[in-house]
């Protein structure tokens, strides 16, 4: 009797751990995704500003390379920040997997069998992801 209770309790503890690890991960993921969309918006704004700037220069027939370069540097900076945040997302995902000893699809978040190459629910390729 005690055995069964212990097993049930263990299972509940495990469930709570999975839920807490996953919910903590999801909160952080939501935060980073938010930052990512802000960065992507900024990048898009600067990109369209650059296009306008170049066109104005064309109209006035005065190309100012330094101005173009400055805008490009801002875009490159944003791109590297975006890359960093994407890396953070992957790291978060990996850390949750390590903590739980399980793999999850990066797209639909369903649990993956060990060594799976594709997600059985959404078909996302995951082989690439497993590489260190």
CA distance linking residue 77 with residue 24, whole number of Å: 29
Q: How far is the CB of 119 from Zn ion (least distance, A)?
A: 3
Tell whether residue 121 is a contact of Zn ion (CB under 5 A). Answer: yes
Give the shortest CB-103-to-Zn ion separation in angstroms: 11
Stretch that binds Zn ion, among 29-37, 40-48, 61-69, 115-123 (CB under 5 A): 115-123
- CB of residue 109 vs Zn ion: minimum separation in angstroms? 7
What is the full DSSP assignment across 80-122?
HHHHHHHHHHHHHHHHHHHHHT-EE-TTT--EE-TT-SB-TTT
125 binds Zn ion (CB under 5 A): no
What is the CB neighbour count within 10 angstroms for residue 126? 18
The residues binding Zn ion (CB under 5 A) are 105, 107-108, 119, 121-122, 124
């Amino acid at each position: 009797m005690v055995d069964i209770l212990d097993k049930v309790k263990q299972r509940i503890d495990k469930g709570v751990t999975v839920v807490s690890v996953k919910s903590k991960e999801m909160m952080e993921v939501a935060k980073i995704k938010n930052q990512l969309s802000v960065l992507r918006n900024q990048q898009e704004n600067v990109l369209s500003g650059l296009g306008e700037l170049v066109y104005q220069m064309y109209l006035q027939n005065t190309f100012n390379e330094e101005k173009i370069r400055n805008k490009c540097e801002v875009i490159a900076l944003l791109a590297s920040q975006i890359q960093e945040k994407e890396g953070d997302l992957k790291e978060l995902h990996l850390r949750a997997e390590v903590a739980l000893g399980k793999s999850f699809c990066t797209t639909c978040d369903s649990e993956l069998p060990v060594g799976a190459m594709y997600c059985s629910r959404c078909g996302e390729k995951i082989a690439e992801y497993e590489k260190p």
